[in-house]
A and B are shown apart, each in its own frame.
Chain A
């Protein structure tokens, strides 16, 4: 494909769609004259079509007591950059369909794909169709697909190609007229961060980043939000040069998970846990995200980044903030973010980083019955790479609630199995009126929030073993999401995409949170950079010996997962 042809092709594709959409719409039109002028008047009524908070509040059909009515996004277009990527196929496109199936997509919702492919609308529709059939959570229904299919458009082009973005701007304008989307666009940048500057610059140049009065423009970006404080700051400079902070939605999909949101329900809707949620009762907290897979096809991204930047900086520190924060005054974005920021500001690194952090790199071994290669033998990884695939750190939170309670964070690839959990481990009972032999196998009480898989909550406590002797042993009491609320848990991306379209930001980290979490991680990364090769650990094990030694020094052990 030569450059001069690209915009022309794009424009043609758009033209043909416009024609067919109008044709399709006209017969169904009840009032004839309005139908003929629909396209023209849609353009002029752009300012009046946005879903503003005031309009929604003035809506006579809405009533806070009417809880059956779901939150539905206002008319808008989602522009997806990187449609051929894994995330788009496995998560984003199916999530959009699932939203449609639950009746949460606005009438006229349109989806525009942008990629370096010589495609027409129907090719992108086919890709979406296949992705939906394969990965959607809800059953495939023809009428829902028809609604979504009518709004699917594709604009081909390179990110550096001005013509392609002009074609995109033109296509969006057409969609506003044919679909009544009112100039509301969400740009989803599902592309590697190195392309952010050029895409954002193009959106700025074409005026797509500037919202006319009464409509909105939002940009959605995925992690990584930089690789240290400085780069995160630079990345933010680029995005804020075109979009105001309130229009930037940073996706940390963990925050969209039901179990993660349930941490707040568990803590702040119950009276049972909060009294013991402090240094007087909690011994320590372990936050784990273990993966059984290796780096797969992500060598190019992963090498040089490593486990800590990939997982601890975002997912695990966000989990830490939710577990440790004080109760927010409300669940509005501002209040929630303020409490999380307070936690990040109170985080203290241990003085001796060598003794209180651990890092490792998986070596060849057996994982779940399969022989797998080590990190250094993976395709695309230099044989002398010092990137860690396992990271563990000990953090403290310097406030009245948590002083002296260590938070241990660990993450790794090619560990025994895939599990993410937060374990709050309580102190031992101050006095045991039993003989030492009776309680020999009694551990510490623990409350475990299982984030994935098998979402739920486990409480571990001691119970008498039936029999004549007073022998006490650990048992667990289990709440499984899947049992109490079956099949009702939406995917994290459904919730987050809907929040983007509604413009509801509490579940998206603010730039301040991103920068504060880099401030926590940067000194550790700098220290690790001087330490040479990470300690190898066999694939399928639970990490390097130094991680166990780090816990042993504190007289504790990692939970066996």
Chain B
């Protein structure tokens, strides 16, 4: 891996250096499919970048990490360029100082790959209305993570629902895909009308009310959320006239599916790590309308 540091620099110099490094490596213009802009704080940088690089193995990208540093220092832009075997695309870590911290978009926009999608990801704290954020405005897809919100994930989701714009999505929603897929598969066989339902999860887990919102939206029944010891989501129970359909998972890996009139069955349902979630987000870049309906329903029933 080649690392190249540029201090007190400009976007133009960074772009020039990237081209130069690529030529030196003998691999000009490889098939990068998107630009991923990661907006995070210094302390999240390592984990976020690791997840992004891992996800980029499936979707070769130019990864731009934007870190806002001290606002009262003199205005300066420092950049760290990484190209090499461990990263299929290119990584640029941008550190912004002083007044520049308010104008990150002016650095990011000239570094976007032309004519390919742009995805913005806030692994930690995120704006209330991502689509109105200067960098969010450059992106087709804006990924937040409610679980990392400082004052409660459920509140963060309810706030985002108000400012929802097509292209918004949240990793709390991506965490639900295996659960939703398993539940949907269970409904592929005819089953009676669901009267009510219950979702159990570790306290404060934003995915739980989101799953409940989706289920009640689709099934037209009340789905309640209650706390359990965790980890993560532990149980979904749906009551039908024939009996309960339930998916229960205690160890975060293997779940048991029970349906009336059928034997219990074990199904692998492992909790997924951030790189996998991110890779799933990058797979489809069109607006997720199902997420929109779920999050808006959640906001309607949210009581602070």
Contacts and interface: CB of A to CB of B under 8 A. Distances in A.
Contact of B181 (A35, A103, A150): A103
Interface stretch (B18-26, B133-141, B147-155, B262-270): B262-270
A146 B246 contact: no
Contacts of A38: 261-264
Contacts of A63: 218, 290
A56 B180 CA distance: 15
A29 B218 contact: no
B99 interface: no
Contact of B58 (A34, A479, A485): A485
B258 interface: yes
B200 to A, nearest CB: 12
Contact of A68 (B244, B256, B262, B280): B280
B226 to A, nearest CB: 15
A142 B253 contact: yes
A28 B254 contact: no
A45 interface: yes
Nearest to B294: A66
Nearest to B287: A65
A30 B58 contact: no
A106 B267 CA distance: 8
Contact of A28 (B180, B188, B248): B248
A126 interface: no
Interface string B79-105: 000000000100000000000000000
B252 to A, nearest CB: 9
Most buried by A among B177, B184, B248: B184
Interface string A524-539: 0000000000000000
Interface in A492-517: none
B260 A34 contact: yes
A35 B256 CA distance: 13
B244 A484 contact: no
Nearest to B251: A143
Contacts of B268: 100-101, 103, 141, 143-144, 146-147
A483 B290 CA distance: 31
Q: How large is the interface on B (under 10, 10 to 19, 20 to 34, 35 or more residues)?
A: 35 or more
Interface residues on A, range: 35 or more
Nearest to A483: B31
A556 interface: no
A408 B95 CA distance: 58
B187 interface: yes
B184 A45 contact: no
A61 B218 contact: yes
A403 to B, nearest CB: 37
B297 to A, nearest CB: 14
Interface stretch (A47-55, A306-314, A339-347): A47-55
Contacts of B286: 67
Contacts of A486: 57-60, 88
B262 A49 contact: yes
Given A66-B290, A146-B268, A74 B261 contact: no
B263 A61 contact: no
B244 A107 contact: no
Contact of A72 (B188, B248, B280, B288): B188
A55 B190 contact: yes
Contacts of B30: 483
A58 interface: yes
Contact of B244 (A30, A48, A69): A30
A25 interface: yes
A152 to B, nearest CB: 13
Given A55-B188, A60-B218, A483-B30, A107 B181 contact: no
Given A45-B261, A62-B188, A180-B263, 12 more contacts: A22-B263, A30-B246, A38-B261, A41-B262, A48-B190, A55-B189, A68-B174, A103-B268, A143-B253, A143-B270, A479-B31, A485-B58
10 contacts: A22-B263, A30-B248, A34-B243, A38-B263, A59-B188, A62-B184, A107-B182, A141-B268, A180-B262, A485-B58
Interface of B: 30-33, 57-60, 88, 174, 177-178, 180-190, 194, 215, 218-220, 237, 243-244, 246, 248, 253-254, 256-270, 280, 284, 286, 288-290
Across the A-B interface, the 10 shortest Cβ-Cβ residue pairs: A484-B31, A483-B31, A180-B262, A143-B253, A66-B290, A61-B184, A72-B185, A143-B268, A25-B264, A144-B268
